[in-house]
């Protein structure tokens, strides 16, 4: 019996020790579940913090990209404005130079022609010859005025067409840049709103990138439809040449007829 008692006592000691150890491990009041929940909450909080920080970084990158794109658009607009002003300035300068040269040449031609009419009048001896010279002068001056009017009209049509083509192209490019800027701003505003709403940052970034790529492709496509100034100028040059050639042909025919009439009053001496 003493042996059994000792065994039971030893078993109680061991059991008591284990029970005491478990009690201390639990905290004596069942707090093990609370500690585990707290740790899980801490882990989740850290995970949420990392996700939030990652989202903030991605959203910040979106803003940085949008800012860089905006700066690029501003630089492109400035370059376009500079090219537009330079193109118009060069065209205006060239037009003025040609108008000045034409006016100078016409003044010289008029002076030489007056001298020729004077020489003809000095040759006229009879009344018939004097009348023939006067008639010739009237016909020549009228023919010259008709030719100049036709050529001035052709030149004016050409100049107006070129200026309109340049302005049309400038307006189209300006509208293209405005549309691209508005589309970029819309993408940025949407991305910022999605970030503020807590949407998945990777999805927001992917959507932003896809939108930017689509905008670039659309801008490239729209650019192909912009008026080609050189093409229009070539067509205007052809139209001007046709009008001037007709004016010159008509002038030559009138002059030839006038010379034939004049020669009748000045028979060739044999």
Question: In the predicted model, is pLDDT for residue 26 greater than 70?
Answer: no
Q: What is the pLDDT of residue 22?
A: 45
Contact criterion met (CB below 8 Å) for 246 and 175: no
**Distance between CA atoms of 53 and 9, rounded to whole angstroms?**
60
**Distance between CA atoms of 201 and 213, rounded to whole angstroms?**
18
**Distance between CA atoms of 104 and 269, rounded to whole angstroms?**
39
Token duo for residue 199 = 């949407």
Name, of 21-25, 120-124, 173-177, 193-197, the range with top average pLDDT: 120-124
Token duo for residue 190 = 């949407």
Contact criterion met (CB below 8 Å) for 189 and 228: no
Higher-scoring residue by pLDDT: 244, 9: 244
Contact criterion met (CB below 8 Å) for 204 and 189: no
Higher-scoring residue by pLDDT: 210, 4: 210
Residue for token digits 């979106």? 62
Q: What is the pLDDT of residue 215?
A: 85
Residue for token digits 């010739």? 136
The pTM score is 0.65
Q: What is the pLDDT of residue 14?
A: 44
Q: What is the pLDDT of residue 101?
A: 93
**Distance between CA atoms of 18 and 201, rounded to whole angstroms?**
52
Residue 113's Cβ-side half-sphere holds a number of Cα atoms within 13 Å equal to 12
Contact criterion met (CB below 8 Å) for 66 and 188: yes
Express each pLDDT in 173-187 by its tens digit. Answer: 888 888 888 888 888
Q: What is the pLDDT of residue 144?
A: 95
DSSP state of 227: -
Residue 154 burial (CB count, 10 A): 20
Domain boundaries, the chain: 70-265
Contact criterion met (CB below 8 Å) for 66 and 195: no
Q: What is the pLDDT of residue 208?
A: 86
């Amino acid at each position: 019996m003493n042996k059994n008692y000792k065994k039971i006592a030893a078993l109680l000691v061991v059991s008591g020790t284990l029970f005491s150890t478990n009690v201390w491990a639990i905290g004596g009041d069942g707090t093990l579940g609370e500690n585990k929940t707290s740790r899980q909450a801490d882990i989740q909080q850290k995970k949420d913090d990392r996700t939030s920080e990652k989202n903030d970084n991605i959203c910040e990158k979106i803003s940085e990209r949008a800012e860089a794109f905006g700066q690029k658009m501003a630089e492109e607009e400035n370059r376009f404005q500079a090219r537009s002003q330079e193109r118009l300035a060069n065209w205006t300068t060239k037009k003025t130079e040609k108008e000045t040269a034409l006016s100078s040449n016409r003044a010289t031609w008029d002076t030489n022609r007056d001298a020729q009419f004077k020489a003809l009048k000095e040759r006229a001896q009879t009344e018939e010859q004097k009348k023939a010279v006067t008639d010739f002068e009237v016909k020549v001056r009228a023919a010259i005025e008709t030719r100049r009017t036709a050529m001035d009209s052709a030149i004016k049509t050409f100049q107006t067409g070129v200026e309109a083509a340049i302005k049309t192209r400038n307006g189209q490019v300006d509208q293209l840049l405005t549309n691209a800027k508005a589309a970029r701003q819309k993408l940025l505003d949407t991305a910022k709103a999605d970030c503020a709403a807590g949407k998945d940052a990777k999805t927001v970034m992917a959507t932003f990138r896809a939108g930017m790529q689509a905008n670039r492709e659309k801008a490239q496509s729209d650019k192909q439809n912009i008026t080609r100034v050189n093409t229009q100028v070539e067509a205007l040059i052809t139209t001007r040449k046709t009008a001037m050639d007709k004016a010159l042909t008509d002038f030559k025919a009138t002059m030839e007829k006038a010379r034939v009439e004049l020669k009748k009053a000045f028979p060739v001496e044999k």
